[in-house]
Amino acid sequence: MKAVILAAGEGKRCRPLTLTRSKVMLPVANKPILEHIINALVKNDIKEIILVVGYKKERIMDYFEDGINFGVKIKYVEQKAQIGTAHAILQARDLIGKDDEKFVVVNGDNIIGPDAIADLIIGEEGDATLLTCKKDNVSGYGVIVAKGKKVVEIIEKPKTLVSHLINTGIYLFKSDIFDMIEKTSISTTGEYAITDTLQMMIDEGMPVTTAITNAEWLDAAYSWNLLEANTIVLGDFETDISKAKIEDSVSIKGSVSIGRNTTIRSGSYIVGPVVIGDNCDIGPNVVILPSTSIGNNVSVASFTYIKNSILMNDIRIGTHSNISSSVVGSNVTTGPNFITEEGEKLIIILENELHEAGKLGTVIGDDTDIGGNVLVRAGKMVSSNCRISSGKTISEDVPTNALIN
């Protein structure tokens, strides 16, 4: 069976991290979200994947190439304008066979486990099947009303509580879905939405069903939600430090995975779950606590403390720093004594909307340089390509390309 993954959008709610890559390429436990999805599909015997790309597509194509390194054949189609999920699926039409061939469709920006795909395939029935899961908080999602397996209504992001069954954005379709998509009218928000296509099918009396899953399905809606996703995915990791160079008197506890050509210098103390990539230089006397992911080519100088954070690739952190509950983008440098203050239940203002974040230090975009003795107040974000001079306290969000001196 083939699968179509929708990976054309930016994921604006994850800015500043998505200014330089799309949300599907954000790392969770050192792998892009999209790679977790591809692994889940491959485990379910999917042999060919059609990736619908658009925003920053080169980054996706350079990473996954033809799929050979990921155990699957990958083909790409482009959605030039991001005008809805139905329109995105339509781009794959020429690569899906006719004759009622069934195929899986997955939103590329949610982390899913292989069991979720298995639940869809086993539970599939009728012309179209939606995978749903029960959530207490359904805000920001499409929800469905069902009678047994039959879907009665799909309501996209309702303002009031209608149902706890959310649409995961994972479907099993037959190739006749493309004709239905072509008949779908544009929504009030100016998009061609697959949820509208499905509602139209229900209204025309076609059998649309739901399969329910309790398996892993995680959505990092906002950049700070990456930390929660990272904690959950790291929970499945096993210890593997065989490829690393571990100096004397390093203490490693819990599940810790360390990549090739990475050195952990003496006196360092690491408590898993922690994953550290290739070619890193950590220590001496560095403390890394759960649940932390550190990418490739990262150096962390002595006496630095890192907890519950994601550090992407090509990062240099100065000595005596403290990074807690933070996401640090690629190619970021900090001087000594860089401190992120950590807060809880913070109210974050994003695009003029208020959001509550759980535990959060800061989020730093790619290509930013921060001097020594800099303190970032809890929940304040630093965008990409910024320069912050030594000794500054960051009490407001720092916009892209800012120079603070």
List % helix, strand, coil for the chain (3-state, nearest 5): 20, 35, 45
Shortest Å, Cβ 180 to ligand GN1: 14
Shortest Å, Cβ 350 to ligand GN1: 15
Q: Which is nearer to ligand GN1, 88 or 286 (CB)?
A: 88
Q: Which is nearer to ligand GN1, 166 or 271 (CB)?
A: 166
Q: Which is nearer to ligand GN1, 22 or 167 (CB)?
A: 167
Distances (CA, A) of 293 to 38, 258, 290, 296, 329: 20, 10, 9, 10, 12
Shortest Å, Cβ 142 to ligand GN1: 2
Q: Which residue is nearest to ligand GN1 (CB)?
A: 142
* Pairwise CA distance, residues 386 & 366, whole Å: 9
Shortest Å, Cβ 117 to ligand GN1: 15
* Cβ proximity of 98 and 105 under 8 Å: no
Q: Which is nearer to ligand GN1, 163 or 362 (CB)?
A: 163
* Pairwise CA distance, residues 159 & 200, whole Å: 21
Cβ partners under 8 Å of residue 137, min gap 6: none
Shortest Å, Cβ 263 to ligand GN1: 40
The DSSP annotation for 276-298 comes to: E-SS-EE-SS-EEESSEEE-SSE
Contact residues toward ligand GN1 (CB under 6 A) are: 85, 107, 110, 141-142, 156, 166-169, 193-195, 219
Cβ partners under 8 Å of residue 148, min gap 6: none
Contacts for 285-290: CB closer than 8 Å, 24+ residues apart: 290/231, 290/234, 290/254
Q: Which is nearer to ligand GN1, 27 or 142 (CB)?
A: 142
Q: Which is nearer to ligand GN1, 225 or 313 (CB)?
A: 225
Residue 385 burial (10 A CB sphere; 0-12, 13-18, 19+) = middle
Shortest Å, Cβ 385 to ligand GN1: 27
